[in-house]
Structure 1
């Protein structure tokens, strides 16, 4: 069976709606700096409460997933490629700011999407 681009997008969209457990060591906001030719990943810490929600460790307030929140990041990583960014985060940073394999896999996929957008000029919106 030959899959079309539309088929792949439909599979991806369906899987994006599944439940995931949040990483207790934090989350990343990924964005591009086209002028510099870089992919950035800001790391923020969080605590997971008994409901499985991410909360700000300083305020105890739930961190909304879709709203803009003013928080201070703990670290900013940057790279020219997805691989360069992954090496910095997963191999060179100790302790590693990612503690769950599904989170690491998600970040790898997002970094590749960001890299493609950077090279092609397409818009990048983190999933």
Structure 2
């Protein structure tokens, strides 16, 4: 089995899992991006309110926040790190109270921070999953 086939298989597994329904963390969500000039990974934290349908709504307007597309909202905190590990330490160990309350959310952030770090090191594009 060639390396391309293995990568394709792993990508297919992740793509399928990305379609599953997840419960949103009531403490909020993060928008992750990289800044090549600063050579940093950034994670902007936004608060949300979860409605009766399990959807995130803007606490000020009550409108549903779309999963894709631009939404003009003010972040509550912004974290930055040179590596995924540095970012995780800042968010999960040094920030009290921790802005993440669900373990699956913490695992997701760890995966995304590693992907962002790889993109930063390799020069590839990073798009948050």
- Give the TM-score normalised by the residue count of structure 1: 0.97
Deviation at 1:67, TM superposition (A): 1.6
| 1:102 equivalent among 101, 104, 124 | 104
Aligned to 1:122: 124
Q: Find the counterpart in structure 1 of residue 60 from structure 2.
A: 58
Partner Cα separation in structure 2 for residue 19 and residue 64 of structure 1:
15
- Runs of 5+ unmatched residues, structure 2: none
Trace 1:82-93 onto structure 2 (pairs within 5 A): 82-93=84-95
- Partner-residue secondary structure (3-state), 2:78: strand
Which consecutive unaligned segments of at least 5 residues does structure 1 have? none
**What value does the CA root-mean-square deviation take over the aligned residues?**
1.2
Number of positions where the alignment pairs a residue of Structure 1 with one of Structure 2: 127
Match of 2:35 among 25, 33, 36: 33
SS at the partner of 1:122? Answer: coil
Write the distance in 1 (CA, Å) between the matches of 2:92 and 2:49: 21
What do the CA deviations read for 1:71-112 (whole angstroms, capped 9, x no partner)? 000000000000000000000000000000000000000000
Q: TM-score, normalised by structure 2?
A: 0.96
